[in-house]
Structure 1
Amino acid sequence: MKTSAQRQFSKNPEQYRDEPLFSSGKDLDAMVSCRNLTGGETLLDIGTGAGHTAIAFSSFVKHCTGIDITEKMVQTAAQFAEQKNAENVVFLQGDAAQLDFASESFDIVTCRYAAHHFPEISRSIQEIARVLKKGGSFLLIDHCASEDEALDRFINRLNQLRDPSHVREYSESEWQKLFEENGLDFSVRERWNLPIDYESWLRRGAVPEQRKAAIHAHLSEPSQSCRDMFNIVHDENGHPVSFCLKAVLIAGMKA
């Protein structure tokens, strides 16, 4: 799955840099506001992608390190930080399940729209807790699965059809268990609908034609509960136009 993620995100890193879904949004502001920052903090951003989260925090903390398993994403993030004059940010290639940092190295660890790609999620959360200082915060934003089994299956299948590197989006109860097992308290700070434009979503994922057909079929006859939950919209010809993912901001402090 790690090589699958590298292949997927090497295709068009610039689209992830420029996509408003990642480059802006109130969720970034909410993440930065989750903790009272003094300017002396060190931060690690995991699955940094094009670097939006690390760059957003860089004005408020002492130093940011962003890691991503995909080399081209690391290069894109470094160039983007230079364009943004974010001088206290460094980007490195790295694996969330094997963090190459000493224990208790960071005041804050962030992860935004990336954890659903982690094939070793338990190990990754264990590593995050290890590198956090006591009293440090883990701030997570990701798509969130429903506690309802049918809705969970529907949305995870949709994302796996589009992107083979998608492992799983987890429910809040699953996240709570992972946090608490690793000595992190658990607090949901915000929930919101993440609107997805269907054609842009396909284009960003560089989806081949055969998978487009499977995705179209999956969205063609959703149950009413799926239609309502994910705001699925079709045009007059029955072609998907848009839907939403359910997103969540979770904060955990290391005891």
Structure 2
Amino acid sequence: MPASETLSSRRFDKIADNFATSEVHRSSPTMEALHETLGPQTGAAICDVACGAGHLALSFADEQPSRLVGVDPAPSMLESFRRLAAERSVTVETAQAAAEELPFPDGSFDLVVSRLAPHHFQDMPKAVGEMARLLRPGGRLAVIDLEGNEDPETDALNHELEVLHDPTHVRSYTLTEWIAFLQGAGLNVPVARGAQAESRTGVPVKRWCEIASSGAEAERAIRRRLAEAPEAQRAALGIRQDGEEFLIPVRTCMLIGVKPLGGVR
């Protein structure tokens, strides 16, 4: 087994098809905002780290990048990416690797992206450092990931729900922590937006658990925990109740870091 293949990658290897068809992963308001903020990527070399089924990478395909690469530790995720790319007649490259050990030379890409994956990374400073290393001077790193909460009690609830949803979840970082990660890797951070949501209407708990194959026991525990939680904490996490169902916004933050033209400071 490759060193890059972790418990998380083995789990996602088994549920790759769920992510290929997941409405949360295929598109979102935050993905749309990212494209608007970045502008056209014509001729750019793009790398999607922990790409999963490759939805973010493929969202750039119509912009005619010069190179479109997906990296993931789970072989079935990479197979899903290649299959979706072939269905769209898009040429892509893939590499099986962890975010902490990216198999490319320094300065290989104009744009590195990672979406709804970094909360699984084992060593965030190392992973961000690796993604920054791949950037050419002036290149950009764009991250969309689950957002932690600055209030410790609300953050603890958020973490508990995420681990029930997916036991390989490591941590959702706050916007402040994310800015520090990017700056620590020598990047300027002109864009940092918190309190984003991947679903406009909210994802029912049942569907949220189906996507991650959480299981019936975990789904029941999530419902119990949400019913017990103070309404103010649920509101802080953007979670709404509709009758007996809870709607999960998949709350995220979006950041763009830019590598200085003189290289890493």
- TM-score higher than 0.5: yes
Please name the residue that 1:151 is paired with.
Answer: 154
User: Does residue 14 of the first structure (1) align with residue 21 of the second (2)?
Assistant: no
Find the residue that maps to 1:164 and give its secondary structure.
Answer: coil
Please name the residue that 2:89 is paired with.
Answer: 85
Shift in Å, 1:38: 5.4
Q: TM-score, normalised by structure 2?
A: 0.88
Verify the 8 A CA contact 1:66 1:92 in the aligned structure 2. Answer: yes
Shift in Å, 1:252: 0.6
Shift in Å, 1:178: 0.6
User: Does residue 192 of the first structure (1) align with residue 190 of the second (2)?
Assistant: no
Shift in Å, 1:2: 5.5
Please name the residue that 1:248 is paired with.
Answer: 253
Please name the residue that 2:28 is paired with.
Answer: 25
- Residue 91 of structure 1 aligns with an amino acid whose one-letter code is T
Find the aligned partners of 2:186 and 2:124 in 1 and give their Cα distance.
Answer: 15
Shift in Å, 1:153: 1.1
Verify the 8 A CA contact 2:205 2:223 in the aligned structure 1. Answer: no
Shift in Å, 1:217: 2.5
User: Does residue 181 of the first structure (1) align with residue 181 of the second (2)?
Assistant: no
- Residue 125 of structure 1 aligns with an amino acid whose one-letter code is V
- Matched pairs, number: 252
Find the residue that maps to 1:207 and give its secondary structure.
Answer: coil
Verify the 8 A CA contact 1:136 1:253 in the aligned structure 2. Answer: yes
Q: TM-score, normalised by structure 1?
A: 0.91
Find the residue that maps to 1:110 and give its secondary structure.
Answer: strand
Please name the residue that 2:138 is paired with.
Answer: 135
Shift in Å, 1:191: 4.4
Give percent identity, aligned residues only.
26
- Residue 247 of structure 1 aligns with an amino acid whose one-letter code is T
How has the CA–CA distance of structure 1 residues 232 and 37 changed in structure 2, closer, same or farther, with 3 Å as cutoff? Answer: closer
Find the aligned partners of 2:15 and 2:231 in 1 and give their Cα distance.
Answer: 35
Shift in Å, 1:142: 1.1
Please name the residue that 1:49 is paired with.
Answer: 52
Verify the 8 A CA contact 2:46 2:68 in the aligned structure 1. Answer: yes
Find the aligned partners of 2:41 and 2:205 in 1 and give their Cα distance.
Answer: 41
- Higher mean C-alpha displacement, 8-17 vs 163-172: 8-17
Verify the 8 A CA contact 2:146 2:252 in the aligned structure 1. Answer: yes
Find the aligned partners of 1:97 and 1:20 in 2 and give their Cα distance.
Answer: 28
Verify the 8 A CA contact 1:34 1:251 in the aligned structure 2. Answer: no
> Which of the numbers 204, 207, 218 marks the counterpart of 1:211?
218
Find the aligned partners of 2:160 and 2:193 in 1 and give their Cα distance.
Answer: 27
**Structure 2 residue runs without a partner (length 5+):** 261-265
**Structure 1 residue runs without a partner (length 5+):** none
Find the residue that maps to 1:227 and give its secondary structure.
Answer: helix
Find the aligned partners of 2:8 and 2:24 in 1 and give their Cα distance.
Answer: 19
- Residue 223 of structure 2 aligns with an amino acid whose one-letter code is H
